[in-house]
Amino acid sequence: MGERFDLPQGTLDLLILRVVALQPMHGWAISERLHEVSHATLTIPQGSLYPALHRLERRGWIEAEWGESENNRRAKFYRLTASGRQQLARETAAWKKLTTAVELVLAMR
Amino acid sequence: MHRIASELRYRLRALLRNGEMEAELDDELRFHLDRHAEKLMAAGLPRREAERQARIAFGGVARIKEDARAAWGLALFETTLQDLRCTVRALRKRRDLTFGIVATLALGIGANATMFGIVDRLLVRAPATMLDPERVHRVYLHTSPDGEAATDRNLAFPRYLDVARGTSSFDVVAAFQTRQVGVGEGATLREVPVTVASAAFFDLFAARPALGRFFTAAEDVVPEGSPVVVLGHAFWQSHFGGRRDVLGQPLRVDRLTATIVGVAPEGFVGMADQGVPAAYVPITAFAHSLRGPDYAGGYGWSWLELVARRKPGVPLATAEADLTQALGRSWRAAAEQDPGWGSAEDARPRGELAPVHVQRGPDATADSRVATWIAGVALVALLVACANVANLLLARAHGRRREIAMRIALGVSRGRLLRHLAMESLVLALLGGGAGLLLAEWGGGALRRLFLPEEAAAVVLADGRTLLFAGGLTLLVALLTGLLPILHSRRTDLADAFRAGMGEGQDRRSRASAGLLVLQTTLSVLLLVGAGLFVRSLHNLLSLRLGYDVDPVLFAAANPRGVELSDAETAGLNRRLLAAAQAMPGVRSAALAASVPFWSNEGRGLWVEGIDEVGKRGSFVLQAATPGYFETLGTRILRGRAFDERDGERSPRVVVVSDGMARALWPGRDPLGRCLRIGEPDAPCTTVIGIAEHVRSRDLFDAREHSYTIPASQYGSPMYPQLFVRAEGDAAALVEPLRRRLQREMPGAAYVRVLTLRSLVDPNLRAWRFGAVMFTAFGGLTLALAAIGLYSLLEVSAARRRRELGVRVALGASTRDVVRLIVTHGLRLVLLGVALGGALALWAAPSLESLMVHESVRDPLVYGVVAALLLAAALLASIAPAWRALRLDPTLALRAD
């Protein structure tokens, strides 16, 4: 395990939308997936996921449904909605623009 | 849009199914912890260690739950709820204050809601279910025969046909008249408003019959139409119990026996200006039953109102020109029939298309203007009430200054504090608004009946427009009363608030209070001046000698209602009615009469030697009466004599003319013994035998209106059976016994109605009576509010200056000095308000000019009394604070701080 970063403000929403875009997932699976995909670089207190999930649900970008988990228990699954998909596209584009800009500045001579 | 809706749904669920959301949150978090612990256990950790590590990785559960709840979007709601609870607690703690504020606002908002409903119906709102009301007009006929401009809304039946057939700008031309007639028979007979209408009348509305059908054009044809009747919904309910089998049943409407063919829908009231019609009958059928076939050809009976709807796209001016053309042709047709109409060139008939509301037409009465004024007055009174409430809230906010500063220091956001203050005014305004609406619903009925006698159904709570208005007003009140305290506390300076003694916030607060007080005084002066002017006008009006006594006199009229009487039978009925009335206990005297003030007047052509056209010297009302008429009405004979039994049918013709008539016809000469030719230019001489005082019988203010009285025996035909009765005592108490006694003399279905003369005259005074009462009520209210405001201001300022006063007394200030200090403080503010209000009133008063009766809008007496009243109130409000200041013990005062 290398260095670990705290998440920049506001990016948690983007990451959740991206992960949920793959398939409907419950909270724990989302947290595990974030952990894995980032090669354990991003430290996200697992609990802080939930206020974000509820906020996204209120906004109508994801919707929740109770279903059966892989270990046969009732779990709340989140799925990306149509407007969530648009939001994901918008935020991804914005993020890319930001990182490109930052890289350009860093790359100057 | 969709996103907002889905978010709203989510928040609503969070709000309403909060328990469910909480349980789900618990389940969700527990699942996460279990699942993570499971994973750690799979990696080989013992259960307890795995659970511990899962909790650490998760973070503080309570905190996360709190954050999740915040994500539900309920934070605003919850703090609002908290504010609300806090506000309610605070308001309950000061019950007296809260009650005072709510009652003040309720009075203000209730009065405004009531007046809004009245003015809206008088001037703005179209009759219920009317289609395209902006294209619908009332038709007026302007003429200038004899060089005198005249405006007419009531036109003859052939005139209606001339307009309907002679114009092309309208898609509907309808005629109607709403009149009080007897409906039903025997015991169920009631005199109720009935709308006599052309079939096209119903085309003006979108209404569909509740039962059956409306009558059609085929049932409304000259000469006698079809005897059909459509019931009004309310009448159907009250008299037929809403039974569906009424269709096909006969119903007696005045002289017409008609078949019920339909029932109008609920809420349909036709043109809604002379009562809620109990029934609708075709013009032709009704007119034929009343007057035979002559109604359709003669232009003499002007009884119908015309309503026309412009075709879409036809401009008003074009339609009006079209109408004027048609009326011109109509006039020539009438003149051909009877040269008495005068030539069209002379009369210059001109049509006017006025709005649907009579009160916006050229012959509007003073009622609508007075109602509009009072609506304005109610608004001003509400403003004064707001100023008072703002002042009270300001005082409270100031009293809580330290508490507020403390809360700011403890980290409560200012926004939150402001919301809290705003909540307080909002709750008070809402309570006031709610109570006000109830007040308007139950207490406003009397006011509505005064201005809208026709709309018994005019309600408040069931009326969307009034509710909307009251709601808007309530929010405005919340804003006005909340603004000042909020602005004040926005500027609360922490250090300043904590500092002991008098900070500078005090001065700012009392400056704001003083400003409000000057405003209140100004507005009170304005309203009280208005009240004074109306009271004086009403007084002048009441002391106006009408030329007869109003209060002791009753009026009885028989309605033969289809019973055909020969001349001899009519004469016999008249004799019996007169004898029965004269023999009644409680009756001093009685007389038959042809004309009744403000009810019906007769006129005949007059010819006098040496005068070209008598009509140019004024308008002359013919009265014919039996001997005893002048005593019965109390009309004074100024010179000569009244006629008596000696002046019979065959005796020389005699007449008593009014004083004004004598002066108009024989200026500067002795009128007694002069010759008047009545009815025909070559009629025999009628000799003037007496001069009576001036009588007002059509218009209270028209000085050109005169009257002359001839004996009934020389009237030429039997008199219509109607009579005046002078009561010994209370006239109103005699109405019912007299009616019952006279009814016994009536043949067949004929009936008699009895009214007090007061009830005929009073509607003409109603605008002023009402103006005087309402201006005085609101003026008094604002004066009381201003006095209370001044009292509390002086109280607070005296309390604040206790130390200063203490020092002054200790240094030897006399009683007089201390009292002067307090009193002049209040007096200065009130004087400023009186000056401002007086100036404002002088500036605004000329717009009241047209409503004044023998009263100058600059009457110094009124202004003087109002100023004195306010100064007296100021002194009264200063007494208690000054008294308290006097009893001040300097040592105590100095020690207190």
pLDDT confidence bin for A45, thresholds 50/70/90: confident
B669 close to B609: Cβ distance less than 8 angstroms = no
- d(CA B540, CA B597) in angstroms, rounded, equals 20
A74 near B CB under 8 A: yes
pLDDT digits (tens, 9 = 90+) for B268-288: 888 877 778 899 999 999 999
SS (H, E, C) B288-315: HHHHHHHHHCCCCCCCEEEEEEECCCCC
Taking contacts as CB-CB distances below 8 angstroms, the residues of chain A near B71 are 51-52, 54-55, 58
In 3D space, the residue among B270, B207, B418, B376 whose CA is nearest the CA of residue B779 turns out to be: B376
- Mean pLDDT throughout B431-452? 80
Q: Which two tokens stand for residue B108?
A: 């203000």
Taking contacts as CB-CB distances below 8 angstroms, the residues of chain B near A48 are 59, 64, 67
Taking contacts as CB-CB distances below 8 angstroms, the residues of chain A near B29 are 47, 50
Question: Rounded to the nearest 5°, which phi and psi values hold at B100?
Answer: -60, -45
B172 close to B300: Cβ distance less than 8 angstroms = no
- If one counts every other C-beta atom within 10 angstroms of the C-beta of residue B81, the result is 11
Taking contacts as CB-CB distances below 8 angstroms, the residues of chain B near A54 are 68, 71-72
- Candidate from B94-103, B125-134, B406-415 with smallest mean pLDDT: B406-415
SS (H, E, C) B135-196: HEEEEEEEECHHHCCEEECEECHHHHHHHHHHCCCEEEEEEEEEEEEEECCHHHCEEEEEEE
Contact B29 A74 (CB under 8 A): no
In 3D space, the residue among B828, B852, B829, B848 whose CA is nearest the CA of residue B840 turns out to be: B848
Query: Given the structure tokens 């996460």, which residue do they identify?
Result: B32
SS3 B710: strand
Question: Rounded to the nearest 5°, which phi and psi values hold at B154?
Answer: -100, 120
Contact B61 A45 (CB under 8 A): no
Helix or strand (DSSP H, E) at B234: helix B233-240
What is the amino acid identity at position B448? R
Contact B25 A46 (CB under 8 A): no
pLDDT confidence bin for B455, thresholds 50/70/90: low
B540 close to B771: Cβ distance less than 8 angstroms = no
* pLDDT number for residue B549: 92
- d(CA B862, CA B864) in angstroms, rounded, equals 5
- Mean pLDDT throughout B698-709? 85
A10 near B CB under 8 A: no
A42 near B CB under 8 A: no
pLDDT digits (tens, 9 = 90+) for B525-549: 988 998 888 888 888 888 888 889 9
Is residue B395 predicted with pLDDT exceeding 70?
Answer: yes
Preceding amide of B355 cis, omega within 30: no
- Mean pLDDT throughout B297-313? 89
In 3D space, the residue among B1, B11, B2 whose CA is nearest the CA of residue B73 turns out to be: B11
Residues on B contacting A at a C-beta cutoff of 8 Å: 2-3, 6-7, 10-11, 14, 24-25, 27-29, 31-32, 34-36, 38-39, 57-61, 63-64, 67-68, 70-73
Is residue A2 predicted with pLDDT exceeding 70?
Answer: no
Task: Name the residue among B11, B31, B64 with its Cβ closest to that of A73.
Answer: B31
- Among B6, B28, B61, B66, most A C-beta atoms within 10 A, so best to mutate, is B28
Task: Name the residue among A32, A47, A58 with its Cβ closest to that of B72.
Answer: A58
In DSSP notation, B30-75 reads: HHHHHHHHHHHHHTT--HHHHHHHHHHHH--HHHHHHHHHHHTT-H
- Among B3, B31, B41, most A C-beta atoms within 10 A, so best to mutate, is B31
In DSSP notation, B85-100 reads: HHHHHHHHHTHHHHHH
Task: Name the residue among A28, A31, A50 with its Cβ closest to that of B68.
Answer: A50
pLDDT > 90: percent of chain B: 32
pTM of the full structure: 0.69
In 3D space, the residue among B486, B467, B633, B641 whose CA is nearest the CA of residue B547 turns out to be: B633
Taking contacts as CB-CB distances below 8 angstroms, the residues of chain A near B6 are 60
Query: Given the structure tokens 């509305």, which residue do they identify?
Result: B205
Is residue B41 predicted with pLDDT exceeding 80?
Answer: yes
- Residue B327, burial from CB neighbour count under 10 angstroms (0-12, 13-18, 19+): buried
B522 close to B791: Cβ distance less than 8 angstroms = no
Contact A69 B35 (CB under 8 A): yes
Strand-pairing partners, residue B627, are none
- d(CA B45, CA B517) in angstroms, rounded, equals 78
* pLDDT number for residue B562: 64
Contact A51 B67 (CB under 8 A): yes
B351 close to B140: Cβ distance less than 8 angstroms = yes
- d(CA B259, CA B119) in angstroms, rounded, equals 38
pLDDT confidence bin for B445, thresholds 50/70/90: confident
Which of the 8 DSSP states describes residue B550? Answer: S
- d(CA B895, CA B252) in angstroms, rounded, equals 90
Cα B560 to chain center, whole Å?
36
B385 close to B126: Cβ distance less than 8 angstroms = no
In DSSP notation, A38-76 reads: TTT-EE--GGGHHHHHHHHHHHTSEEEEEEE-TTS-EEE
Query: Given the structure tokens 């898609």, which residue do they identify?
Result: B171
* pLDDT number for residue B326: 94
Strand-pairing partners, residue B751, are B559
- Mean pLDDT throughout B666-683? 89
Question: Rounded to the nearest 5°, which phi and psi values hold at B256?
Answer: -90, 130
Which of the 8 DSSP states describes residue B132? Answer: S
Is residue B492 predicted with pLDDT exceeding 50?
Answer: yes
- Mean pLDDT throughout B877-891? 77
Taking contacts as CB-CB distances below 8 angstroms, the residues of chain B near A84 are none
Q: Which two tokens stand for residue B54?
A: 């899962």
Name the closest residue on chain A to residue B4, using Cα atoms: A59
Residues in chain A: 109
Taking contacts as CB-CB distances below 8 angstroms, the residues of chain A near B11 are 58
* pLDDT number for residue B456: 46
Taking contacts as CB-CB distances below 8 angstroms, the residues of chain A near B14 are 58
In DSSP notation, B97-130 reads: HHHHHHHHHHHHHHHHHHHHHHHIIIIIPPPTTB
What is the amino acid identity at position B586? G
Could you give the dihedral angle defined by the CA atoms of residues B711, B713, B717 and B723, in that order, rounded to the nearest 10 degrees?
Answer: 60
* pLDDT number for residue B508: 65
- Mean pLDDT throughout B840-853? 86
Contact A47 B61 (CB under 8 A): yes
* pLDDT number for residue B801: 74
* pLDDT number for residue B146: 66
Name the closest residue on chain A to residue B59, using Cα atoms: A47
- d(CA B806, CA B105) in angstroms, rounded, equals 38
**pLDDT greater at residue B629 or residue B716:** B629
Please name the residues in contact with B720: beta carbons below 8 A apart, sequence gap of 6 or more. B557, B594
SS3 B273: coil
Q: Tell me the count of A-B CB pairs closer than 8 A.
A: 80
* pLDDT number for residue B168: 93
Task: Name the residue among B10, B38, B61 with its Cβ closest to that of A58.
Answer: B10
* pLDDT number for residue A11: 83
Taking the alpha carbons at both ends of chain B, their separation in whole angstroms is 61
- d(CA B294, CA B316) in angstroms, rounded, equals 34
Is residue B590 predicted with pLDDT exceeding 90?
Answer: yes
Contact A75 B10 (CB under 8 A): no
Which of the 8 DSSP states describes residue B262? Answer: E
What is the amino acid identity at position B584? M
* pLDDT number for residue B784: 84
- d(CA B229, CA B456) in angstroms, rounded, equals 22
Which of the 8 DSSP states describes residue B645? Answer: T
SS3 B690: strand
- d(CA A63, CA B357) in angstroms, rounded, equals 57
In 3D space, the residue among B414, B417, B406, B411 whose CA is nearest the CA of residue B495 turns out to be: B406
**pLDDT greater at residue B661 or residue B502:** B661
Is residue B798 predicted with pLDDT exceeding 80?
Answer: no
Query: Given the structure tokens 């009270």, which residue do they identify?
Result: B392
Contact A71 B64 (CB under 8 A): no
Taking contacts as CB-CB distances below 8 angstroms, the residues of chain B near A45 are 57-59
- Mean pLDDT throughout B794-803? 75
Task: Name the residue among B27, B59, B72 with its Cβ closest to that of A54.
Answer: B72
- Among B12, B29, B35, B53, most A C-beta atoms within 10 A, so best to mutate, is B35
In B728-840, the DSSP E strands lie at: 751-756
- Tell me the shortest Cα–Cα distance from B421 to chain A, in angstroms: 30
What is the amino acid identity at position B689? I
Taking contacts as CB-CB distances below 8 angstroms, the residues of chain B near A26 are 28, 31-32
SS3 B453: coil
Strand-pairing partners, residue B559, are B751
- Tell me the shortest Cα–Cα distance from A50 to chain B, in angstroms: 6
**pLDDT greater at residue B313 or residue B453:** B313
B251 close to B192: Cβ distance less than 8 angstroms = no
Q: Which two tokens stand for residue B167?
A: 């114009």
- Tell me the shortest Cα–Cα distance from A44 to chain B, in angstroms: 9
A63 near B CB under 8 A: no
pLDDT digits (tens, 9 = 90+) for B721-743: 899 999 998 998 999 999 989 98
B613 close to B665: Cβ distance less than 8 angstroms = no
How far CA A62 is from CA of A86, B6, B98, B742, in Å, comes to 11, 11, 48, 87
pLDDT confidence bin for B1, thresholds 50/70/90: low
Contact A75 B31 (CB under 8 A): yes
Taking contacts as CB-CB distances below 8 angstroms, the residues of chain A near B2 are 83
In 3D space, the residue among A44, A79, A57 whose CA is nearest the CA of residue B24 turns out to be: A57
* pLDDT number for residue B504: 46
Taking contacts as CB-CB distances below 8 angstroms, the residues of chain B near A55 are 71
Preceding amide of B158 cis, omega within 30: no
Could you give the dihedral angle defined by the CA atoms of residues B197, B199, B204 and B209, in that order, rounded to the nearest 10 degrees?
Answer: 100
Task: Name the residue among A28, A47, A69 with its Cβ closest to that of B64.
Answer: A47
- Tell me the shortest Cα–Cα distance from B81 to chain A, in angstroms: 21
Task: Name the residue among A47, A58, A66 with its Cβ closest to that of B71.
Answer: A58
β-strands B705-711, B619-625 pairing: parallel
In B662-704, the DSSP E strands lie at: 675-678, 686-692
SS3 B365: coil
